A and B are shown apart, each in its own frame.
Chain A
């Protein structure tokens, strides 16, 4: 039994697949751990230094030479970090009576109940703020810490951020991201399907041109779409709309600035090629016998399309949608040009008519990652927060994809004979 051709190559392929899967799992795992790690309650440590002073706070970083400690943030958030060389530390302990006072703007103040009271700790804060909660972290057992942990996660998911964007939650960004993706889907699906139908039905030179144009579009970097959106939609169309309909509000722009509508349109343009290719391929896979059968019964071409071909191509339509969502959810760069802001004052959907406000600016999880990681004033808080946003974004995309895939699977069952 000698070696046959392909034996070695199979192992190569398996190895490549395993590597790819491994990297993916590592990525997700890393994001999950790093992201969730941001919410785990930290113990309060008291350090006695060689020079006789004592520090009280949370250890945020340690290596072989130095320990970084977050002390009470009296004035502003994110400036009370102390880097202490290990050689200067005489002793450390976690006193059981340590309390953490968390303010509503995210500042954390530390004290010991034996020496001061929570109220006095609170009073230390120089800027006016409300007290959010008082925690006795060191006294908590594992179960209680878990409860605190879930509480933190819950707050992350369900509350808006603080003014500094360093604490609080990402609820608006989450909502806005989902609304953006949905609005984009509502725009791109009809556009993509219509184009695909046209390409499928017509067989002329013009369609070959259109098809090559679409493949070209698919390769253009996403930020170029952002520039296009800015010039064409924001300034061009938006400016005109403002001139015609909202002239009384000028010079304050209504539509001539970044907003949900322009962002959705830009994303739709970005993902149209993906949808077109997918839908066209789905239509092409339908056996010609089906179309002939429909025509033979007296259907016109339009009736055949609507009653038979498009329903039969539903799995392909969903595939296109899934791919579009995947591409759009990650396209942060164009978003920054056409509507995303760091902190939006309102949500684009609320209870006022017309319930959806497409001219409003919005927040985006992807942008939140950038902002937290690179543009925040407190890197020590920002980086874990970026991981948390990234993990959440991945979770959102996976959830959207999975639901579409499940739906497509159910539909595939119905149309499975077309898969031969």
Chain B
């Protein structure tokens, strides 16, 4: 696989029960870039994310066909450990979901799962993760307080810190700005640029301006199909497909 591609899907299809949600999605996510997934509501963007780290396995009647390759690993191979996959492909959800633990323990949760026990190592990595999301200075004096006391913008950054503490290759974000106010959203987008230096970012958003501002590449999905994929600049000035054009310019009914 090309060294610049972090994740590739091949003819990925997803069913929830009898309903097919994704049709033959073949997508290559470039490494260390920000890729946006856009499309109208219900087009399958979030479902696609959940496929990539096999969170859909938790849903009883979901079924997937096709292949997902992350680096050299086939996500559905028999000897692939699901929890290892999920460590490599992190996800941040729409609403921040900090655990009812202290700030330190939230970030350390994933590290402890990996078996890291030494307090000094945990502390170092927690500090690094919190610094990476520009939260360290705000919380350094209250690491042992409950994470639920933070503001919602801080909580969202905390959740990102928690996700990157385990050093994933790919970080997926599902509409991360939708719970935040505009200023917090912009700060969050700045953060994404910083994070893209070390992680491949996949961003689901229904906000076209956000996709245009933040991403290097954009994929447009419609009713479970991948309609177009390309560099964001080109896609937003001169999309190839009529469907993409209609959606981006707001002529989609």
Contacts and interface: CB of A to CB of B under 8 A. Distances in A.
Task: Find out whether A and B make contact in their complex, taking CB atoms under 8 A apart as touching.
Answer: yes
Interface of A: 203, 287, 289-290, 292-300, 303, 307-308, 311-312, 414-418
B153 interface: no
Interface string B99-114: 1100000000110111
- Among A293, A415, A416, max chain B CB count under 10 A is at A293
Nearest to B53: A296
Nearest to A301: B58
A298 B100 contact: no
- Among B83, B90, B100, max chain A CB count under 10 A is at B100
Given A296-B53, A414-B146, 20 more contacts: A289-B95, A292-B97, A295-B55, A295-B86, A296-B91, A296-B93, A297-B86, A297-B87, A297-B110, A297-B162, A297-B163, A298-B84, A298-B86, A298-B87, A298-B114, A299-B113, A307-B109, A311-B100, A312-B100, A418-B100
Given A298-B86, A414-B100, A289 B93 contact: yes
B148 interface: yes
B7 to A, nearest CB: 16
What 3 A-B pairs are tightest by C-beta distance, nearest first?
A: A298-B87, A289-B97, A417-B148
B87 A416 contact: no
A103 to B, nearest CB: 62
Nearest to A204: B60
B55 A292 contact: yes
A289 B53 CA distance: 16
A308 B101 CA distance: 9
A293 B100 contact: no
Nearest to A286: B100
B68 interface: no
A306 to B, nearest CB: 11
A303 B95 CA distance: 23
B211 interface: no
Contacts of A289: 93, 95, 97
Interface residues of B, number: 26
A293 B98 CA distance: 8
Interface in B63-84: 83-84
Nearest to A290: B97
Contacts of A300: 83
B100 A415 contact: yes
29 contacts: A287-B97, A289-B93, A289-B95, A289-B97, A290-B100, A292-B93, A293-B93, A293-B97, A296-B53, A296-B86, A296-B90, A296-B163, A297-B110, A297-B113, A297-B162, A297-B163, A298-B84, A298-B86, A298-B113, A299-B83, A299-B113, A303-B113, A307-B113, A308-B109, A311-B100, A414-B100, A414-B146, A417-B100, A417-B146
Contacts of A312: 99-100
B122 interface: no
B130 interface: no
Main SS at interface, chain A: helix
B159 interface: yes
Contacts of A203: 60
B110 A298 contact: yes
- Among B53, B55, B58, B109, max chain A CB count under 10 A is at B109
A16 to B, nearest CB: 36
B166 interface: yes
B203 to A, nearest CB: 16
Contacts of B148: 416-417
A141 B162 CA distance: 72
A298 B91 CA distance: 11
Contacts of B95: 289
A297 B110 CA distance: 6
Contacts of A311: 100
A295 B58 contact: yes
B224 to A, nearest CB: 22
A154 to B, nearest CB: 45
B167 to A, nearest CB: 11
Contacts of B55: 292, 295-296
Contacts of A303: 113
Contacts of A293: 93, 97, 99, 159, 162
